[in-house]
Structure 1
Amino acid sequence: MSDVAAIVLAAGRGTRFGDEPKLLARLGGKALVRHVAEAAVGSSVDPVIVVTGHRSEEVEAALHGLPVQILHNALFAQGLSTSLKAGFSALPPRARAAIILLGDMPFVKADLIDALVVGWRERGEPAALIPTLNGRRGNPVVLSRDLQAAIEGLSGDIGAGPLLRGRSDVLEWPITDPAVAQDIDTREDFAKHRM
């Protein structure tokens, strides 16, 4: 068992993508969200909690057969913060941290997840460990359980970013893997990666 869990945020509408549910768009024969969940399942983290919301039944169907814990966020329309809070509330007692995975980042692989978790441990388990690529912050981010109370205070369509700014116990971790900056927001993004 791991003392770090994964929270896959897969509840949003993805409105910039158009009418088709973004997380269900198929890349390499699989839904985007399944790529992310498979990476988490293949890593050392446990459990893998997938927070669903918009089109939840279809998202759950895309994850069929994977050993993940599905958590439906009935408040998903109120924004990203509600999914982050729901995921943290579902962490098992042994979890000292969670790595937050975005359902639209299909190029994040298990070895990157494991490297970030190892980095978090080796650097003394800071409040957060944030990967950076060429000086820009990316995802996934490892968040310490110590942030849970602050996360509970979030509202609206924001993640943990505002909580992490200016804190001395938040560490940036330079990395060369471009996956930390490759999310799919629009059909143009998707088309680029399908080639």
Structure 2
Amino acid sequence: MSARRGTPLTIEEICSTAVRLIDESGVEGLSMRKLAAELDVNPMSLYHHVESKEALLGLVCATAAERMHMPPDDGSPWQEQLKALGLAYHRHALEHPALWGYLHTHPQLISDHRLAIWQTLYRILRLAGVPESELPRTSEILNAFVAGVIVAETQGRLSDDPEEIDRTFDLAVHLIINGMVSFSA
């Protein structure tokens, strides 16, 4: 417990504050000192919870991904579930562009297929008829396709108009679903 703060520091509080700072100043603007100042703790207090800034960023990326709204396994068609997952991923990327950009330039942070997003995608791909042996490759290809669309959007290559961005992403999801239909047929 910090003498200045009066309450124990939690991983959730550290990660939430780090995400907010990254949203405001980018990953390069985050430092352990700035984070500690925001949390009103001594910078060394952070090291009781994370061993380094790199470890903090890994934890932040994992917890940010876990906060995404995943479509439930509610019996709806796989196409609807895949669209819902794609839209949640898209919305998350647009809400946290600096974090998303960092995540996708550090593939080791997103390669853990035990994360909820991957498990949800695997469940949906199984519903679509993708063989178990093809789940890793299919999911990585879909991720690369969606990431490419989002990179093009965030760099302004597709459009700066928010409505056009939504229509473009809807088209991308439509292309994915149609491709999956022909794959599973």
Shorter-chain TM-score category? under 0.3
TM-score normalised per structure 1: 0.26
The one of the two structures with greater contact order (alpha-carbon pairs below 8 A, sep at least 6) is 1
Q: Which has the higher strand share?
A: 1
Q: Which has the higher helix share?
A: 2
TM-score normalised per structure 2: 0.27
Q: Which has the larger radius of gyration?
A: 2
